[in-house]
Amino acid sequence: MIKVEKISKSFKDTQILHDISFEITKGEFIAVMGPSGSGKSTLLYSISGMDSISDGRVYFDGTNISEMQEEDLARFRLNKMGFVFQNAQMLKNLSVFDNITLPGLVAKKESADNIRKRASKIMKRMEIEGIEARDIREVSGGQLQRASICRAMINNPKILFLDEPTGALNSEATDQVLAILDDLNRDGMTIMTVTHDPRVAAKARKVLYMRDGQIAASKEFSVGADRDRELDEWLKNLKTKA
């Protein structure tokens, strides 16, 4: 689905990403880990077209999105990608339901009635039905993050990009979000997440570990593997070698 070819990213005199290449296949769940400042979020923003790259190419279903004009790229992201961030990027003057439906109404791919029906269906799946009319300041952090996932799903994206999706949540809310991501991936949704949390990374089938703007190591889990244990051992070995 996504092919990343030797991308680099510089800001002024600082090189943030160094000659990175990898691929994301349909239905894959990839987690990106690494210390603060290693380039994790920059990598996610670069391959999703939210940030420009200095060199290299990013292909999405064969389309070189790194050469798109910003207006075309914004439309491409709206229709093909969903985004969830650590702090929900919701509009304060809209209700939870209106925030969820907004990207669908902007995309104009189908009727407003169909968009509202799908929003209700997704909210029920995420177990947050009943909060539709509430202000975003009147719901819990876990509910708001699940609403963010609903919003990211409203245009039936091909991939979900998540940047520290559980970073601001307590343990209970984190478990709820992880269960949702696991369920979505089982249904075929392609997911790439940046995270510091081993619990999140252990849900992935592949983990990329970044250090100093490069992919220093990668780990794939076999079906039925004890991912929590394998991930813990792998991360300990990486830190020992650092």
- Residue 163 — very low, low, confident or very high, per pLDDT cuts 50/70/90? very high
pLDDT in tens, 105-126: 999 989 999 999 999 999 999 9
Kindly give the residue spans of alpha helices, DSSP state H, lying in the chain.
40-47, 70-80, 96-107, 112-125, 141-153, 171-186, 198-201, 227-241
Mean pLDDT of 162-188: 91
Task: Count CB atoms within 10 A of the CB of residue 230.
Answer: 15
Residues 6+ apart with CB under 8 A from 85: 148, 162, 163, 164, 165
Q: Which long-range contacts (CB under 8 A, 24 or more apart) does 73-79 make?
A: 73/49, 76/49, 77/48, 77/49, 77/50, 78/103, 78/106, 78/107, 78/155, 79/107, 79/109, 79/155, 79/157
**In the predicted structure, residue 230 carries a pLDDT above the cut 90:** yes
pLDDT of 242 over the 70 cut: no
4-45 pLDDT tens trace: 999 999 988 899 999 999 999 999 999 999 999 999 999 999
At 225 the pLDDT is: 76
pTM for the model: 0.94
| Residue 115: per-residue pLDDT | 96
Burial of 231 (0-12, 13-18, 19+ CB in 10 A): buried
Looking at every residue in the chain, the average pLDDT score rounds to: 93
Exposure string for 203-225, b = 16+ CB within 10 A, e = fewer:
bbbbbbbbbebbbebebebeeee
User: What does the pLDDT average to over 60-71?
Assistant: 94
CA 143 to chain centre: 17
Least confident of 45-49, 174-178, 220-224: 220-224
Predicted local confidence at residue 34, as pLDDT: 94
Share of the chain above pLDDT 90, in %: 86
pLDDT of residue 136: 92
